[in-house]
Structure 1
Amino acid sequence: MADRYLHLTGTAPGRFLTRRLGLPQPVGLRRWSLATPSLDGPLLHLTAGGSLLGDTLAPVLAATGLEVVRRADRPAGIVVDATGITTAAGLGGLHAALHPVVRSLVTGGRIVVLGTHPSPEDHHQAAAQQALEGFVRSLGKEIGRGATAQLVRLAPGSAAPAESTLRFLLSPRSAYVSGQVVELTGAAPDPVADWVAPLTGRTALVTGAARGIGAAVASVLARDGAQVICLDVPQAGEELGRTADRLGATALPLDITAPDAAERIAAAVPGGLDVLVHNAGITRDRRLANMPAERWAQVIEVNLDSVLRTTDALLEAGTVNRGGRIVATASIAGIAGNNGQTNYAASKAGVIGLVRSLAPRAAAGHGVTVNAVAPGFIETKMTAAVPLLIREAGRRMNSLSQGGLPIDVAETTAWFAQPASTAVNGQVVRVCGQSLLGA
């Protein structure tokens, strides 16, 4: 459904009226396309309080394709290396670096602060580095004009593991991601032969792929070079076939809750899977006092239990290849809760628990990363059916004052899926325009 308010604020009379009334003024977001593959302008590289990255950061920033400069009147992106801040007093360097330039950031620009992991042995360093999180989350709510702010925590010594993450965050692909904290391990990235199609030679399976977010995920993975298998329930077979045909993909009609689902998936991919995306999900909304047991059980079974069961079976059987990527779909409902969705929120919070627990063990035992996207208000047929006032609240209650699109979830999933994203593990990234709900 079209966002008429967003269209209104894109006109001169609309801007005047909404400014006079003190209403939100969203800016149309610039997303990736062949015509707009990168940000339009230079990347300003600043340092606050010294650096733990040495000379390893410069080539990684250069790899983003942006012109990296130390001074710029209208930067499209700003990266601040704050890895060397270890004291409360040192935080003044962050203010000194950004205060003079933050107003000059272009519409739809990007700010990325680089920090390091808070130390359990040094509470002064831990306090200073944790302070960066509060700073970035607040900055994301201040800068407006479609701009975003993120914090990336790196292991000391080298910026190389951050290349795929900085390529994503400093590009139009991350248009609806803001106020996020991404913690990277020190794992070396797998090589990428072609950054235009980084998934070339890889096989990906997407559940719930017939329509909506799942179809968008399948489309972006195919665009990035993957051979995609689109899975959905047999009842959606006709729509599933159309989606698969459009992408040159394979359709796999299968109920993911079936006892033999994992075995049938394994049989469909004799060469194994490189990317497994758990996107299938349902809602059966009702307040707990009015919720029959079967509504509770259906949501838990589809959204959580089937994810646990098939993931375990596919890892144990070796169907997910070494260097593989597992991406699950959580939700901000699992972070903040939602009225009438105790079953749905429980299932999505369960997905977050799965990711945090399994990620280090999957990496150590199978060479596989496990991450999750947590969408907020995304413009789909489901949200189009939400009553008008609730729909408008969902759209406006975030730092970007608009709903996201399925492509936004898909682009984040594709970043997780890249071979170079080895250091991105155990992360839950909200795709919500920095929703005012939740952490």
Structure 2
Amino acid sequence: MSDRYASFANSGPGRALVKRLGLPAPPVLRRYHSGDPLVTGPVMLAGAPGGRLDGPVRKMLTIAGVALDGGPRWSALVFDGTGIVDSAGLHPLYEFFHANARSLTSGGRVIVLGTPPAACASPREATAQRALEGLTRSIGKEFGRGMTAQLVYVAPGAEEFTDSTMRFLLSGRSAYVSGQVIRIGQVSSSPLTDWDHPLEGKVALVTGAAQGIGAAIARVLARDCARVVVLDVPAAGEALARVANEIGGTALQLDLTRPDAPSTLAAQLLSRHGKVDIVVHNAGITRDKTIAKMSAEQWDAVIDVNLSSQERINDALIPLLPEGGRIISVSSTSGIAGNRGQTNYATSKAGVIGLVQSMAPILAPQGVTINAVAPGFIETRMTARMPLAAREVGRRMNSMSQGGLPVDVAETIAWLAAPGSAGVTGNVVRVCGQMWLGA
């Protein structure tokens, strides 16, 4: 679905009119294309005295071939805030961003690195570290021009496990991810990653993969060299087969609400592939009504497909996951902020967040991570059916002034699925262009 307003706003006459009238000005986002460099120019790396992450980040950027000098225009501003131990120590953040805000290129990246407040040595340090969230979320709304801003909390001892997350956030893969707080925990080890073929040798299952976001996830995981099993209901069999053929994957027609679906799925994966490494829970439905008008059947169907089926599938597949296994669930910003007319959907998607957060510590001892992505307004067939006014509000009420694309969700999932993301678990990452309200 095309965004005609965004196309007009980025035309010559459109830019002038949008500026004159003070209308939303959707920037052209820097998305990843095969062969793109990690960043488009030099990166400025700075930090507060006593920080833990300057060395590891500098090493990663050097290995990636990123210039750390040059200027005066910078493709990214990275600040190591782990040395901040009290509120007075926040002043260097002001100095750094005040001096360099105008030097960031269009589509640039801001990353602030901090210590999780729960891991801080004192209440004053925890207070200062929590303050970083307000800084990064505000910068994301101030800088504009397709820029993104993130806060990455790195636990003590996890300093060497930041590469995968830093590469994702600096690259065009994170074009529609902004204002996020990502937590990296300590792990015993993280496998070396082939950044050109990060999922080589992995078997990935993607549910709800016949079209839209699910098909995009399958394509990106296949691009990253995973062997992909795409699953959807029998009614979507023809579209599912097209996706499987396109990516050289395997199609599996299965209704996940069937009582025998978990055992059938586990048996199919073992018999045809011998294992499963990555499970992406994308299957979902909507049955929108206000709760006063909603039938019990509409409530039960959405909860069963969107939430309960994930629990049942996990019960069957977790025993098959090896160390380094990945579970990624698709939630929604509706599950964070709620949405009128979607009590069933919002309940199910909030439950997905609860599933991820409750299972993360249980799965950690076996080296399996579980995370969620929460898309906002994404340009799909479903959003194309929305009333015009609601669709335009959904597109414009974020820092990017536009809807996201299915590939934006897929790129985020591919980052979470990568071997180098072993320290990232229990996270909920919004792919929403940094919504203005509610989330």
- Say whether the fold is shared (TM-score over 0.5): yes
Residue 299 of structure 2 is aligned to residue 296 of structure 1:
yes
Match of 2:347 in 1: 346
Aligned with 1:357: secondary structure? helix
Residue 212 of structure 1 and its aligned partner are, at CA, apart by 0.4
Match of 2:360 in 1: 359
Match of 2:311 in 1: 308
What are the superposed Cα offsets for residues 6-53 of structure 1, whole Å, 9 maximum, x if unpaired? 111111211111111111111111211125343211111111243123
Match of 1:90 in 2: 89
Residue 207 of structure 1 and its aligned partner are, at CA, apart by 0.1
**Partner Cα distance (1:189, 1:204) in 2:** 22
Counterpart contact for 2:371–2:426, Cα < 8 Å: yes
**Partner Cα distance (1:35, 1:55) in 2:** 27
**Partner Cα distance (2:26, 2:103) in 1:** 18
Counterpart contact for 2:43–2:77, Cα < 8 Å: yes
Which has the larger displacement, 31-40 or 351-360?
A: 31-40
Match of 1:328 in 2: 329
In the alignment, residue 38 of structure 1 is paired with which amino acid? L
What are the superposed Cα offsets for residues 294-349 of structure 1, whole Å, 9 maximum, x if unpaired? 0000000000000011112222xx21222100000000000000010000000000
Residue 189 of structure 1 and its aligned partner are, at CA, apart by 5.0
Counterpart contact for 2:360–2:426, Cα < 8 Å: yes
Counterpart contact for 1:164–1:421, Cα < 8 Å: yes
What are the superposed Cα offsets for residues 413-439 of structure 1, whole Å, 9 maximum, x if unpaired? 000000110000000000000011223
Alignment map for 1:210-229 (pairs within 5 Å): 210-229=210-229
What are the superposed Cα offsets for residues 83-118 of structure 1, whole Å, 9 maximum, x if unpaired? 110111000011112211111100000000000111
In the alignment, residue 108 of structure 1 is paired with which amino acid? G
Residue 257 of structure 1 and its aligned partner are, at CA, apart by 1.4
Give structure 1 stretches of 5+ with no counterpart. none
Counterpart contact for 1:220–1:414, Cα < 8 Å: yes
**Partner Cα distance (1:114, 1:63) in 2:** 19
Alignment map for 1:388-403 (pairs within 5 Å): 388-403=388-403
Output the TM-score relative to the length of structure 1.
Answer: 0.97
The change in CA–CA distance for 1:156 and 1:180 in structure 2 (over 3 A counts) is same
Match of 1:369 in 2: 369
Alignment map for 1:116-127 (pairs within 5 Å): 116-119=115-118, 122-127=122-127
Counterpart contact for 2:47–2:54, Cα < 8 Å: no
Which has the larger displacement, 50-59 or 344-353?
A: 50-59
Residue 193 of structure 1 and its aligned partner are, at CA, apart by 4.7
**Partner Cα distance (1:148, 1:48) in 2:** 21
Counterpart contact for 1:192–1:198, Cα < 8 Å: no
Counterpart contact for 1:48–1:85, Cα < 8 Å: yes
Residue 5 of structure 1 and its aligned partner are, at CA, apart by 1.0
In the alignment, residue 182 of structure 1 is paired with which amino acid? I
Count of aligned pairs: 435
**Partner Cα distance (1:221, 1:210) in 2:** 15
In the alignment, residue 179 of structure 2 is paired with which amino acid? G
CA-based RMSD of the aligned residues comes to 1.3
Give structure 2 stretches of 5+ with no counterpart. none
Aligned with 1:55: secondary structure? helix
In the alignment, residue 33 of structure 1 is paired with which amino acid? H
Q: Percent identity?
A: 56
Match of 2:21 in 1: 21
Residue 72 of structure 2 is aligned to residue 73 of structure 1:
yes
**Partner Cα distance (1:321, 1:159) in 2:** 24
In the alignment, residue 421 of structure 1 is paired with which amino acid? S
Alignment map for 1:156-175 (pairs within 5 Å): 156-157=156-157, 159-175=159-175
**Partner Cα distance (1:295, 1:205) in 2:** 27
**Partner Cα distance (1:64, 1:405) in 2:** 27
**Partner Cα distance (2:18, 2:99) in 1:** 29
Output the TM-score relative to the length of structure 2.
Answer: 0.97
Which has the larger displacement, 96-105 or 28-37?
A: 28-37
Residue 215 of structure 1 and its aligned partner are, at CA, apart by 0.4
The change in CA–CA distance for 1:56 and 1:121 in structure 2 (over 3 A counts) is closer
Match of 1:239 in 2: 239
Residue 287 of structure 2 is aligned to residue 284 of structure 1:
yes
In the alignment, residue 284 of structure 1 is paired with which amino acid? R
**Partner Cα distance (2:94, 2:64) in 1:** 25
Counterpart contact for 2:38–2:167, Cα < 8 Å: no
**Partner Cα distance (2:37, 2:379) in 1:** 23
What are the superposed Cα offsets for residues 331-388 of structure 1, whole Å, 9 maximum, x if unpaired? 0000000010000000000000000010111111x32100000000000000011111
The change in CA–CA distance for 1:389 and 1:65 in structure 2 (over 3 A counts) is farther
In the alignment, residue 114 of structure 2 is paired with which amino acid? G
**Partner Cα distance (2:383, 2:189) in 1:** 37
**Partner Cα distance (2:132, 2:123) in 1:** 14
Counterpart contact for 1:220–1:410, Cα < 8 Å: yes
Match of 1:207 in 2: 207
Residue 158 of structure 1 and its aligned partner are, at CA, apart by 5.0
Q: State the 4+ residue runs in structure 1 displaced beyond 4 angstroms.
A: none
Counterpart contact for 2:161–2:190, Cα < 8 Å: no
**Partner Cα distance (2:396, 2:36) in 1:** 26
